[in-house]
Amino acid sequence: MGGATTDLKLIDENGRRIDGRRPDELRPLKIEAGVLKRADGSAYVHWGENKVLAAVYGPRECHPRHLQNPTRAIVQCNYNMASFSVSDRKRPGPDRRSQEISKIISEALEHVVLTHLFPRTSIDVYIEVLQANAGTRCAGLTAASVALADAGVPMKDLIASCASGKVADTIVLDLRNEEDNFGSADVPLGLVPRTGEIVLLQMDGDLSVDEFKTALTMSTDACYKIYEMQKDALKRKYCVAPAEIPAAMAEAIQTSAAPAEQVNGGDDIKDDTSDNQQGGMQ
Amino acid sequence: MNETEDSKEECARQDSERELVLPGDFITDGKFKAGSGTYMENGKIYASTLGIKSMRSNFVNVVPLSGQYIPKVGDQVIGIVVEVGPSNWLVDINSPYPAPMHINEAPWRVDFGDTARYLNVGETILARIFMVDEVKHVQVSMKDHGLRKITGGQMVTISHSKVPRVIGRNGSMIQMIKNFTNCRIIVGQNGRIWVDGDPDAVVNAVNAIRLIEEEAQAVGLTERLKEFLESTQKGKKV
Do the domain assignments include residue A145? yes
Radius of gyration of chain A (CA): 22
Query: B92-122 pLDDT, tens per residue?
Result: 999 999 999 999 999 999 999 999 999 999 9
The residue of chain A nearest to residue B23, with distances taken between CA atoms, is A157
Range of the domain at A266: 245-275
Do A257 and A155 share a domain, yes or no?
no
Do A213 and A259 share a domain, yes or no?
no
Buried b (16+ CB within 10 A) or exposed e, A57-90: bbbbebeeeeebbeebbbbbbbbbbbeebeeeeb
The 8-class DSSP code of residue A64 comes to S
Do A107 and A226 share a domain, yes or no?
yes
Nearest to A152 among B17, B50, B220 (CB): B50
With 70 as the cut, is the pLDDT of residue A102 above it?
Answer: yes
Q: CATH assignment of B3-64, given 3.40.720.10, 2.102.10.10, 2.40.50.100, 1.10.420.10? A: 2.40.50.100
What's the pLDDT band for A267 if we cut at 50, 70, 90?
Answer: very low
What's the pLDDT band for B234 if we cut at 50, 70, 90?
Answer: confident
B214: chain A residues, CB-CB within 8 Å: 282
Do the domain assignments include residue A77? yes
Do the domain assignments include residue A86? yes
Do A221 and A109 share a domain, yes or no?
yes
Do the domain assignments include residue A46? yes
Average pLDDT, chain B: 89
Q: Which of B45, B50, B65 to substitute to test the interface with A, most A CBs within 10 Å? A: B50
ipTM beyond cut 0.90: no
Phi, psi of B96 (to 5 degrees): -65, -15
B83 reaches A (C-beta below 8 A): no
pTM (2 d.p.): 0.85
Q: Do A240 and B37 touch (CB under 8 A)?
A: no
| Residues β-bridged to residue A76 | A124
Do the domain assignments include residue A85? yes
Nearest to B232 among A193, A265, A276 (CB): A265
Task: Tell me the H-state helices in A55-130.
Answer: 96-112
3-state secondary structure chain B: CCHHHHHHHHHHHHCCCCCEECCCCEEECCCCEECCCEEEECCEEEECCCEEEEEECCEEEEEECCCCCCCCCCCEEEEEEEEECCCEEEEECCCCCCEEEEHHHCCCCCCCCCHHHCCCCCCEEEEEEEEECCCCCEEEECCCCCCCEECCCEEEECCHHHHHHHHCHHHHHHHHHHHHHCCEEEECCCCEEEEECCHHHHHHHHHHHHHHHHCCCCCCHHHHHHHHHHHHHHHHHC
Please tell me the number of Cα atoms within 13 Å of B51 on its side-chain side: 31
| Chain region(s) in chain B for CATH 2.40.50.140 | 76-150
Rounded distance, CA B28 to CA B41, Å?
11
* More confident position, B198 or B5: B198
Do A146 and A263 share a domain, yes or no?
no
In sequence order, the 6+-apart residues with CB closer than 8 A to the CB of B70 are A117, A118, B95, B96, B97, B136
- CATH code, domain with A104: 3.30.230.70
Do A226 and A249 share a domain, yes or no?
no
Nearest to B231 among A241, A268, A282 (CB): A268
Do A53 and A148 share a domain, yes or no?
yes
What's the pLDDT band for A240 if we cut at 50, 70, 90?
Answer: low
**pLDDT on residue B17:** 56
Q: Which CATH superfamily is domain B154-237 in?
A: K Homology domain, type 1 (3.30.1370.10)
The residue of chain B nearest to residue A238, with distances taken between CA atoms, is B20
Q: Do B96 and A60 touch (CB under 8 A)?
A: yes
3-state secondary structure A209-264: HHHHHHHHHHHHHHHHHHHHHHHHHHHHHCCCCHHHCCHHHHHHHHHHHHHHHHHH
With beta carbons less than 8 A apart as the criterion, state whether B212 and B225 touch.
yes
With 80 as the cut, is the pLDDT of residue A260 above it?
Answer: no
Instruction: Please state at what angle helix B199-214 crosses helix B221-237, rounded to 10 degrees.
Output: 150
Do A227 and A266 share a domain, yes or no?
no
B49: chain A residues, CB-CB within 8 Å: 152-154
**pLDDT on residue B3:** 47
3-state secondary structure A142-202: HHHHHHHHHCCCCECCCCEEEEEEEECCEEEECCCHHHHHHCCEEEEEEEECCCCEEEEEC
Q: CATH assignment of B76-150, given 3.40.50.300, 2.40.50.140, 1.10.8.60, 3.90.1150.10? A: 2.40.50.140
With 90 as the cut, is the pLDDT of residue A28 above it?
Answer: yes
How far is residue A198 from each of residues A220, B49, B109, B201, measured CA to CA in Å? 9, 21, 59, 56
| Chain region(s) in chain B for CATH 2.40.50.100 | 3-64
Residues above pLDDT 70, as percent of chain B: 91
Number of domains chain A is built from: 2
* More confident position, B60 or A258: B60
B74 reaches A (C-beta below 8 A): no
Rounded distance, CA B97 to CA B73, Å?
13
Do A127 and A251 share a domain, yes or no?
no
Do A68 and A100 share a domain, yes or no?
yes
Count other Cβ atoms within 10 Å, centred on residue A130: 15
| Residues β-bridged to residue B84 | B89
Residues above pLDDT 70, as percent of chain A: 84
Instruction: Please state at what angle helix A247-265 crosses helix B221-237, rounded to 10 degrees.
Output: 30
Strands A29-33 and B138-141: unpaired
What's the pLDDT band for B148 if we cut at 50, 70, 90?
Answer: very high
Mean pLDDT of B75-85: 97
Q: Distance from CA of residue B104 to its chain's centroid?
A: 26
Do A67 and A42 share a domain, yes or no?
yes
Residues above pLDDT 90, as percent of chain A: 78
Mean pLDDT of B40-55: 92
Do A64 and A113 share a domain, yes or no?
yes
